[in-house]
Amino acid sequence: KKLRQDANKALEEAQKAKQLDGPGAQEALDKAKQAAELADAADAKADEALTKAEEARNAKIKDANENATAALKKANELADLADAAIDKAAEKKRAEQAAKAERDALKKKLEDAKQAVETAKKNAADVLEDPLVKKALADAIKLADDVDKALDLAEQGLVSNDDAAKALEKLESQIPPLEDIVNDAVARAAKNAAERDALKKRVAAATDAEKAAEDLAKSNGVLATPEVDEAAKKYAQ
């Protein structure tokens, strides 16, 4: 800009000198031309610098746009990953809640099964030494312990709820047979008790008969004969 001003000033002076056509006119004109050339060269350099600046600016804008686009793409990818992680966490939480509800239901059924085993044990109070009853009760109690352990492992995530459910199904399938075994044992015990009572009554009756025979034989004076004694024993038997 300064060179252009100097060139314009020199040109004005040269034009004035030419008009006057006085001394120094040619020198002023040469200076003006020189100033104009310098100004033209400066303009050219300025244009070149401006062009380069524009190119650099455009390149920077392009790079910035590309970087911004890449950053936005990366941000969108991260946002998608975050959304997926949130969805996965929510799904995991729902699955855990469902699994817990399932285990709670299994625990309730296990308590019912344990109560059934305990009831069967109480009903078998008089026949606990019966071999069949003893084995059936021991098997049922062991199965209940297996279900407890399976549920504990399921809560720790070491086994699935299905494993605990299968163990519970096995326990539940043993309860009806257990009840039948206990009922049969109780019925047998009652029958045996009735038979023993009847036998006791028969023994008492035989003892009374033997006593009566002895009294009869004694009153008739024949107690000492082997025949009467033998007959009395056979009658008592």
Predicted confidence (pLDDT) at residue 124 exceeds the cutoff of 60: yes
Cβ 144 vs Cβ 167: under 8 Å:
no
Q: Looking at 125-134, 144-153, 206-215, which range is the least confident one?
A: 206-215
Number of H-type helices and E-type strands within the chain? 5, 0
Asked if 192 and 134 count as a contact pair (C-beta separation under 8 A), the reply is no
Q: Which of 6-15, 37-46, 47-56, 153-162 has the lowest mean pLDDT?
A: 6-15
Q: What pLDDT is recorded for position 104?
A: 93
Tokens describing residue 168: 């519970």
Measured between alpha carbons, how far is 188 from 86 in angstroms, rounded to an integer?
65
Give the percent of the chain with pLDDT over 70. Answer: 86
The predicted structure's pLDDT at residue 42:
80
Q: Please state the rounded mean pLDDT for residues 68-89.
A: 93
* Residue 205 pLDDT level (bands cut at 50, 70, 90): confident
> What DSSP state is assigned to residue 125?
G
Which residue in the block uniquely carries the two structure tokens 């200076």? 31
pLDDT in tens, 82-119: 999 999 999 999 988 998 999 999 999 999 999 999 99
Instruction: Please state, in angstroms and rounded to a whole number, the distance separating the CA atoms of residues 175 and 171.
Output: 7
28-38 pLDDT, tens digit per residue, is 677 777 877 87
pLDDT value for 220: 66
User: What is the pLDDT, as a whole number, of residue 22?
Assistant: 59
